[in-house]
Every structure is written in C-alpha cells, then in structure tokens.
Structure 1
Amino acid sequence: MKSEAQTQDWVTRRERGSLPVIKACVWVALRLGRRAARLFLYPVCLYFLLSSPAASAASRGYLARVLGRPARWTDVFRHFLTFASCVLDRVFLLNEQRGWFDITVHNEALVQEIEAQGTGCMLFGAHFGSFEVARAVGRQREHLPISLLMYEENAQKIRAALAAINPNLATEVIGLGRLDSLIAVAERLQRGHFIGVLADRNFDGRDLVRYPFLGGEASFPKGPFRVAMLLQRPVVMMAGIYRGGRRYDVRFELLAEAPATRPADPEAWIDEVMRRYVSRLEDYCREAPFNWFNFYDFWA
C-alpha cells in the first residue's frame, strides 16, 4: 500500500491556473457567451490529453473500471470535455446566469422540509458533476444559503477564485482545519445554512477509511462525517449530474437523520453513513461515468 502522501497525490500537483488567467477566462466567457466559449474547450481538452500523462492514465484506469472495458482515447477526451464543460458552466452559474441552463431538481421536497425546520444540514457531494449547480438552485431560494466547507489551503484558493468571478460569493467558503472552523460551521447551521462538503477526498491524507468502490478498495475521509455526527445534523447527499448540452440533473437524498443525541457508538454511526455515501457515489458513477473528476489514482 502506498503512503498517505502518495495516496493524496492530487494535493502536490502543480496548479495550472492563476488569478490573472482565471480573470481573463471569465472576461472572455462572459463576453462571448456560453455557446461561443464552449468552442475553446475542444483544443484545451486536446492539449491536456497530450500534455497530462498522469491525468490521462488516471482517467483510463477509472473509465476501465466503470465502463467494464479498456478505455479508448476518445473516452478520455470525453471525460476531460465533461470536466471542462462543468468548469465553464461554473462561471455562468456563479454570475447568476442560471437562464443558460435546463436544471431538473429531484427530491426537492427533502430540501424544503429541512429548510422549513430551519436547522440546516450537512450537504455531502463529491468531485462528481457540478456542486455549483446545487448552490445555484439554493441561491434561487431566498432563505437557503449554502456554504462550502473545505481544507484551508484550498479554501484560500477558492476564495480568491470566487472573488475574481463574483466578489459577492467569496464569504460562502469556510476553511476547515482552523481552530474556529467547527464554531463557524455551527453558527451557520444555527442560521439554517446548508454546509456543503466534497466528502470523497481530504487534503492531508489522514483519517481515511477504505471501502469497496468500483471493483477495488478506495480511501474516503472520516472528517466530514464526524462533523455531522458532532453537530447532530442530517446528512443529505447531492449530485449535480451534467447531461450534456445545457442540461443538469440535481439529485438530493437523505443519508442519515439528525441524531437526537450523540450516538452510543459514534464510530459505528460514522461507518454506516460512510458506507451509504460510498455506495450511492458508486451508483452515480455507473449512471453517469464521465462526471467523475478525480484525475489521480483514487485506488492507490
């Protein structure tokens, strides 16, 4: 088995973007419009296919698992193109241009019920599809703010990127790993926030548990689930599935009710909820395989 540092290989990869580049891309996208901006995705994805052997290999490995056959280069290109499409769409969603998209929301009654209770919830997603499309849905509802909880180093980068795209959204990110992180999450939950977490990987490679996933065993972090248990909030899974063109499906489903008291066996509670999460994530990957965006060896 590889070390934790190797397992979290995605952490150490050199960033390919910078704030000036992000600002330039945002400027071009918003002035050209989505249809014209999408034309640039094809040469960009071809460039990454040729210049990113590690990401291409990871894509082939994942696609072979989920498709049940060796992945062709056209599959890898489609995988990159799906990712690039979601990244581009994020620019328009963050700038409140939801009108570009055809978004179908499933099980919205669950969200409405939790919203009416005013207690907030932990909203678990993954590096799968578009989490931003769920936040766009939330912003359409006046009393449903969605904050993102992520590791502090990534949080700093995301805050800067959000400020470059839409300065009004930078405060929606909570850095995890600071002394006041849990307090900040608890305060926002008290105000009825949904706290979004991408719960399929963490930053430091610690506190991981391996579960069966797509024919192998992969590591998933316990931290987000422990936060939900400690703060006694319901856990809702969200998937924003990109269907091509301008179509998205947003799915909400309850993974765990809010525990009325701290569970007698906290580790058993966490394990049960994590197994549900991993199982549903596997189902989503099989349903929409090109929506998976972990471009490193997830099973290492």
Structure 2
Amino acid sequence: MSRPPLHLPAGVDASPGATSWANTPERSNMLVLRFFSWMALRCGRRVARLVLHPVVLYFFLFSPGPRRHIKRYLERAIGQERMSWRDGYRLIHYFASTILDRVFFLRGRMALFDLQVTGAAALDAEAAKGHGAFLVGAHMGSFEAVGASRYTSADPDQLRLAMLMYPDNAQQINAVLGAISEPRFRPEVIALGRPGAMLALRDWLDAGGMAGLLADRTLPRQAQDEGGAGTQRGDSLELSFLGRKAVFNDGPFRLAALLQRKVFFMVGLYLGGARYEVRFEPLADFSQGPAGCGREAQIREALEAYARRLEALCREHPHNWFNFHDFWLEDKR
C-alpha cells in the first residue's frame, strides 16, 4: 500500500530566507572552531580553557546587542536585584566552554567528562521497539553532550540521533562536523525543506532513529498553501515566559503530530568544569492521539508544556540558555 506524500505542516517555514537567525550559523564559526580544535587537540583541554577568558572578555565588551539581550534575560531568570555583570560573563563563558568541549565530544574523548544521564531508559525502550521519536530541546547547554550520552546506554549503536536543521544551517554544521569530528561520532543531519526531506525523516524514525531539533526560535507564518491560496493558519502563540509574553512556534509539534510520534524534552546542561547533566523527559505523545480539533488542542498543550519546562530550566540553570537574540521582541517595540 503506497503512503501519502508528506509535506511540512503549516507553521514550519524551512525556506532559507525565513528569518534572519535562520541564515545565521548557530555556534559554528568555522575559523574559531578550527582554531579551538587544533589548539585543544594539541595542548589538551586544560590549556585550551585558558584561552576562553580573553575570548569571553572581548565578546562581553564589544557585543552591545547580545549583551543587552543577555541582561534582559538574566534579570528575568535570576531577578533584577540579584543579577550582576558577573552573571552575564558567566553565561558567555559557559557558552564558550560548550563550544570548546564540542571538539572533544565529536572526537570521542568521553573520558574527559563527568557525564550524568537521566531518563534515557525510555528512549532505549522506544528504540528497542523500533519506534523513533522526536527529541525537542533549546539553545541550552550542549547538544553534543546529548549525543554523547548514547554511549552510556546498554547498546550504543541502538540509539541513533539525527539533527533536524534548516538548509543553510545544515550546510554550515556539516562543514563543521567534517572539519573537527571523527566519522563514528558524527551525528546525522537531515535538512528540512529539501526534496525528499520528509520521506528521509519518516524512514529514519521508522528505523528506530531519534530526531533532535531545537524549538526556542520563532518562525514566520507560511503565506501560501500548496495551491497558492493564502492561509492564516496560526503557527505561533504568545505564552507567558519568565514573567513576559513571548512568541513560541508550534511547528516542531505539528511535525511530530503529522508523523504520529512521541516527543521527549532533551537538554545537556553544563555544570562547570568538566561536568554535564543530560536529561530526557516525556513531553507529548502523538502516536495514538486524537485527530481534528482534538489534535490542535494536543499540539497547543505540548507547546505550553515545552515553554513551562524551558522556563523552569532557565530559573534552575540560568547561565545555560544561550539566547543572544531579541527573544521578547522588545527592540522592535
């Protein structure tokens, strides 16, 4: 029996020009990563970490836009009275640390780290049954630590992880991975918006693979449907986040609903030094959920649960959310 064609759901705009950040390489500047990779592998992690402080100081002093956004965020996550410039510096240092550690994770140097994993048993069970699932995270901590956590499972080859990315970012990250990683530790990359991407994603999930994506970026509405007629289907919702209204996109959850999969929240928290904590938590189950209007309510509930979980983590580990953008759209106002 032939399967119906798959298309990106309304609200998932994967065009290269969808929005400014969609064309910006996330945490993957090639020259910086090549330099860090060369120095780290030549001199070791301890020596390489000494270079982080001048790099962080330069960014802290000469990046007024990101510094303004960091200040706004930390005032809401920590409290305006408690927050100081040290918190901003610490956040950027955590960010730089995860970039450096990316080199070691992608080279398979797991012994350098104290990696604690919770909640992986549920993923192992899904993979053992041949049921792929979505792992939805945020620009928080280290995605590479999440990928490395599969080597702590009972069968490392069983838990396979692919990254879902936009075409331009996928080109950047593939170049980075090719430059600094060993093939064995290199994750798969599925570029959304390209011909056959949805079929490739469905086949990956049907084979028991996990699909990871980050959901703390807002995308514009799709202006047209397949027939070219305009559509106003809502794909963004205003939700309370750290005491202010913020816009979240439901595209990742529409994708999970379309493919009828379970959704887990994932995060690789950086705890300082060489310590990481990877968490997996059930977030939504679209595998046997309702259809029609009931499915719309289920998608909204999943998005609201995601926002609540991210908010709780921002308060618990405020220096781990690496969002240097105008998240609350205050500059535009």
Q: Identify whether the pair has TM-score above 0.5, normalized to the shorter chain.
A: yes
Q: 1:267 — aligned with what? A: 296
Q: 1:97 — aligned with what? A: 109
- 1:257 CA displacement: 2.1
Q: Which runs of 5+ in 2 are unaligned?
A: 1-17, 222-234
Instruction: Report the Cα distance in structure 2 between the residues aligned to 1:129 and 1:28, rounded to whole angstroms.
Output: 22
Instruction: Report the Cα distance in structure 1 between the residues aligned to 2:265 and 2:40, rounded to whole angstroms.
Output: 31
Residue pair 2:106, 2:182 contacting (<8 A) in 1 also: no
- 1:261 CA displacement: 5.7
Residue pair 2:98, 2:142 contacting (<8 A) in 1 also: yes
Map 1:65-76 → 2, pairs under 5 A: 65-70=76-81, 71-76=83-88
> 11-20 vs 140-149, which deviates more?
11-20
Q: 1:4 — aligned with what? A: none
Determine whether 1:138 maps to 2:150: yes
Instruction: Report the Cα distance in structure 2 between the residues aligned to 1:95 and 1:115, rounded to whole angstroms.
Output: 24
Q: 2:50 — aligned with what? A: 39
> 218-227 vs 94-103, which deviates more?
218-227
User: Tell me, what secondary structure is at the counterpart of 2:271?
Assistant: strand
> 18-27 vs 229-238, which deviates more?
18-27
Map 1:162-177 → 2, pairs under 5 A: 162-166=177-181, 168=183, 172-177=188-193
Determine whether 1:292 maps to 2:321: yes
User: Tell me, what secondary structure is at the counterpart of 2:102?
Assistant: helix
Q: Which runs of 5+ in 1 are unaligned?
A: 1-6
Larger radius of gyration: 2
For 2:195, which of 155, 160, 179 is the aligned residue?
179
Q: 1:280 — aligned with what? A: 309
Residue pair 1:139, 1:145 contacting (<8 A) in 2 also: no
TM-score by length of 2: 0.83
- 1:259 CA displacement: 2.5
Determine whether 1:62 maps to 2:55: no
Instruction: Report the Cα distance in structure 2 between the residues aligned to 1:180 and 1:102, rounded to whole angstroms.
Output: 39
- Once the two structures are aligned, what percentage of the paired residues are identical? 45
Change over 3 Å in CA distance of 1:17–1:147 after alignment to 2: closer
Q: 1:3 — aligned with what? A: none
Per residue, is there more helix in 1 or in 2?
Answer: 1
Residue pair 1:263, 1:269 contacting (<8 A) in 2 also: no
Residue pair 2:246, 2:328 contacting (<8 A) in 1 also: yes
Change over 3 Å in CA distance of 1:170–1:176 after alignment to 2: farther
Residue pair 1:229, 1:262 contacting (<8 A) in 2 also: no
Q: 2:206 — aligned with what? A: 190
- 1:199 CA displacement: 1.1
Instruction: Report the Cα distance in structure 2 between the residues aligned to 1:175 and 1:186, rounded to whole angstroms.
Output: 13
**Count of residues in Structure 1 that have an aligned counterpart in Structure 2:** 293
Instruction: Report the Cα distance in structure 2 between the residues aligned to 1:274 and 1:258, rounded to whole angstroms.
Output: 13
Cα deviation digits, residues 105-140 of structure 1 (max 9, x gap) = 112221222122111100011001111111111255
Instruction: Report the Cα distance in structure 2 between the residues aligned to 1:99 and 1:31, rounded to whole angstroms.
Output: 17
Residue pair 2:161, 2:187 contacting (<8 A) in 1 also: no
What one-letter code is carried by the residue in structure 1 that aligns with 2:177? L
Residue pair 1:93, 1:136 contacting (<8 A) in 2 also: yes
- 1:176 CA displacement: 1.3
- 1:77 CA displacement: 0.7
What one-letter code is carried by the residue in structure 2 that aligns with 1:86? T
Instruction: Report the Cα distance in structure 1 between the residues aligned to 2:24 and 2:267, rounded to whole angstroms.
Output: 26
User: Tell me, what secondary structure is at the counterpart of 1:245?
Assistant: coil
What one-letter code is carried by the residue in structure 1 that aligns with 2:281? E
